A = this chain, B = another copy of it.
Amino acid sequence: MSPRYQEIYESIRGQILTGEYQAGDELPPETALMEQWQVSRGPIRQALYNLRTEGLIYTTRGRPARVRRPHQPTQTLSSFTPFSQWAVTTGREPGNHTLSVARTRCSAEIADALQISEDDFIVEIVRLRTLDGSPALLERSRFTTDVGSSLFDFDPDIGSITDHLTDHGVQFASMRHELDAVAADSVDADALQIDTGAPLLRERRTSFDPQGRPFEYSDDRYRPDQVTFSIMNSMAAEK
């Protein structure tokens, strides 16, 4: 049972993405939305806030929220959705090609990120992920063993790791994303069908459980011609 503001957010978001609201259109005023959904102002404002952070609308004092011009298919960093779910909402067909599933000892960088010691074991899954058949990113995902062990009886070519782990009681409470650029190494180049040394957008993603403990640390390298990231922020709500 999702909260009320979540339903409202998803409903309006759908109306914008399907074109029921065009760029520049005004949304109904908050009072009208309160009437329409039979809720008080709180949930309405929460829903609009999420839409604003995602860059779909912008707000000013004195006028209802307006819809932004449609933007290109970039991943929005504010409402971070797993790759396969995101691909579907942008109308493209995601695919997976698993390169390896292994149980190994972790390196210093991984140990630090997962807050474990260098002697500990981890489960590492390397997957090439595609959009409409073209290579889009190479994902090197590492899990702590307690979480990752359930991944050995799972075909990562078919299903979503996120869904599989959620079904096994793992809760993704929050994520941290760090973005920089790297040159493709030979493995990257081979998998992504680019030249060695070509620039890649790297996302290092750490997933946390509700207690703030990290259980996943992933190094994802994107072809910049296939996927970009975007974020919107309004000064009003921050600084």
Q: Which of A92-100, A118-126, A146-154, A231-239 is the contact stretch?
A: A231-239
Bound together, the chains give a CA A234 to CA B78 distance in angstroms of 9
> Within residues 73 to 107 of chain A, which ones have a CB less than 8 A from any CB in chain B?
74, 77-81
Tally of contact residues, A, Cβ under 8 A = 51
Q: Does A174 contact B (CB under 8 A)?
A: yes
- Residue from the list B60, B177, B208 in contact with A212, Cβ < 8 A: B60
Contact A201 B179 (CB under 8 A): yes
Distance (whole angstroms) from the CB of A192 to the closest CB of chain B: 12
Q: Does A21 contact B (CB under 8 A)?
A: no
How many copies of this protein are present in the complex? 2
Residues from chain B with a CB closer than 8 A to the CB of A171 are 235
Q: Which of A27-35, A128-136, A180-188 is the contact stretch?
A: A180-188
> Within residues 19 to 42 of chain A, which ones have a CB less than 8 A from any CB in chain B?
none
Bound together, the chains give a CA A233 to CA B179 distance in angstroms of 14
Residues from chain B with a CB closer than 8 A to the CB of A239 are 6, 79, 81
Distance (whole angstroms) from the CB of A35 to the closest CB of chain B: 23
Contact B177 A231 (CB under 8 A): yes
- Residue from the list B58, B222, B237 in contact with A50, Cβ < 8 A: B237
Contact A66 B212 (CB under 8 A): yes
